[in-house]
Amino acid sequence: MLKKLFGIGKAQDTKNEEAVYSPIDGQVVPLEEVPDPVFSQKMMGEGIAVKPENGNIVSPVEGEIIQLFHTKHAVGIRSLSGIELLIHIGLDTVELMGEGFEAHVKEGDKVKVGDPLITCDLDFISEKASSTITPIVITNGDIVESIEPSGESDAVKGKTKLFDIKVK
């Protein structure tokens, strides 16, 4: 009765639709074009990738940092709708052991769209890793009802919508 009258419990409910914005400036490319089968064959999940123009990575959603790899090459975020996004900066970057990366968040931090996550030295990554391409992947696709790509080809971090997600 109190729930109906005062909306108690509503504030804790998660959203069931959400926009995911680009975490980085650059050219948007289909996940299938990422030169790594783990991503291109969607073994990690559905998503999209961006060929970055700079090394400033921001949050693509409002949510919580659920994982920051000790090598700082990747970060996991749980959004308000419950989707879990992995932002993987470059390919074979785990082998850099954190060199060239600076994290601005830690696990448990709350973030909003556009909040700084990681800064990286893109020139260093270009020289030392196999690619700077940055996949953005939904790692808990079982809760996703639909994904609607925006169709954008150029992305501005925190501003350009990459896709809309509807959760079950």
Catalytic residues: 88
Task: Report the distance separating Cα 97 and Cα 55, nearest Å.
Answer: 17
| Segments in the chain forming alpha helices (H) | 2-6, 37-40, 122-128
Q: Are 18 and 80 in contact (CB under 8 A)?
A: yes
How far is it, in rounded angstroms, from Cα 88 to Cα 69? 10
Amino acid (1-letter code) at residue 87: I
* Residue 106 CB-density burial (10 A; 0-12 exposed, 13-18 middle, 19+ buried): exposed
- In a 3-state reduction of DSSP, which class is residue 12? helix
Length of the chain: 168
